Amino acid sequence: MKTIAKVMKYELSDVVRSRWLVAYTLFFVIVTDGLLRFSGASANAELGLLNVVLVVIPLVSVVFGTMHVYNAREFTELLLAQPIGRRQLFGGLYLGLAIPLSLGFAAGVGIPFALHGFDDPVQRRTLATLLGIGVVLTFSFTGVAFALALRLEDKAKGLAAAIAIWLVTTVLYDGLVLLLGAMFADYPLERPLIALMMLNPVDLGRVLMLLQLDVSALMGYTGASLKSFFGTSGGMLLAVGALLLWAALPPLAALRRFGRKDF
């Protein structure tokens, strides 16, 4: 643990020094503040933020993460020459990036809300959900970035793969779902669709958030079946479990790779 903390400390100073994080936090402050000012109600602001969170967090996490691993290559090799376990080193490197990114996001969204206040206490819970989803996506996509950068030696290839993964999860996957829905329109699709949503953290986050906001009433029968699924403690547990799994799986895959990689 102590080793992880030590590596994290160096990482942290590196991340902060690069000023990326400050820009990232400022970005969320400006967007959130703007939405709160111009949309009038905090529920609307949360809905607007949802799209930003679902697009920007995966993109920044995966691209910034990939670049970070490539840039930290020499530092990593240097540390590997020291008597440090690979698990500890990976833990330090990964958390040293994922935690500041999460904090930057949480602060960027949280501060404007704290200043403006809520017009309905229900929205505290919604905001908590939004923050939770953002943090999970950060951990997940930073993990993806590590896994990619450790697998692909070529920087350009790694970056291309990172962007491709972002494109698939945030955009193309939904197109596929739409296509499947149209192809199998004659069948009861509610359950399979829920399963498909669980297989993509971005979609899962979006659906969980929509259920919190009252737009779910728009979804008619689909919404009702979603609510009846996620409304039960079992369904909610499954959804939260899936989200946590999505936060844990990519970094674990990256850790496996890190443990075996011949630098």
Partner 1 sequence: MIISALLVALTTLGGSRDTIVVTPRSTVAAAIARAHAGDVIRVEPGTYAEPMIVVDKQVTLVGEGWPVLDGQSAHQIMSITADDVTVRGFVFRNVGTSFVEDRAALKVTKARGCTISDNRIERAFFGIYLAAASDCRITNNVITGAGASEAAAGNGIHLWTSNRIHIEGNRISGQRDGIYFEFVRESEVIGNTSEHNLRYGLHFMYSDDCRYVDNVFRANSAGVAVMMTKRVTMTGNHFESNWGSASYGLLLKEVYDVRLERNQFVRNTVGLLADGANRIVAEHNEFRRNGWAVKLLASTDEGHFRANNFIGNTFDVATNNRESSNELAGNYWDAYRGYDLDHNGVGDVPFHPVRLFSLLVQTNEPSLILLRSVFISLLDAAERAIPTLTPQALADRSPMMRPLP
Using CB under 8 A, list all residues that contact partner 1: 47, 50-51, 54-55, 170-175, 177-178, 181-182, 185, 189-190, 193, 197, 203, 206-207, 210, 214-215, 217-224, 226
Evaluate the CA torsion angle 195, 196, 201, 205 in order and state its sign: negative
CB nearer to partner 1: pick between 217 and 252: 217
Centroid of chain to Cα 173: 16
By the 10 Å C-beta count (0-12 exposed, 13-18 middle, 19+ buried), 158 is classed as buried
Minimum gap (Å) between residue 214 Cβ and partner 1:
7
In eight-state DSSP terms, residue 72 is T
One-character DSSP codes across 145-179: HHHHHHH---HHHHHHHHHHHHHIIIIIHHHHHHH
Minimum gap (Å) between residue 58 Cβ and partner 1:
10
Minimum gap (Å) between residue 29 Cβ and partner 1:
22
CB nearer to partner 1: pick between 88 and 222: 222
CB nearer to partner 1: pick between 29 and 197: 197
CB nearer to partner 1: pick between 138 and 169: 169
- What CA–CA distance (Å, rounded) separates 52 from 130? 11
CB nearer to partner 1: pick between 54 and 147: 54
The 3-state DSSP class for residue 257 equals helix
Residue 157: other Cβ atoms inside 10 A: 13
- For residue 28, CA distances in Å to 56, 110, 161, 175 come to 10, 9, 26, 28
In eight-state DSSP terms, residue 169 is I
φ and ψ at residue 188, rounded to 5 degrees: -70, 115
Q: Are 169 and 140 in contact (CB under 8 A)?
A: no
Token pair, residue 137, equals 């996506």
CA angle centred on 238, ends 235 and 242, rounded to 5°: 145
CB nearer to partner 1: pick between 27 and 173: 173
Minimum gap (Å) between residue 73 Cβ and partner 1:
32
CB nearer to partner 1: pick between 41 and 114: 41
Minimum gap (Å) between residue 248 Cβ and partner 1:
25
Minimum gap (Å) between residue 213 Cβ and partner 1:
9
Minimum gap (Å) between residue 185 Cβ and partner 1:
5
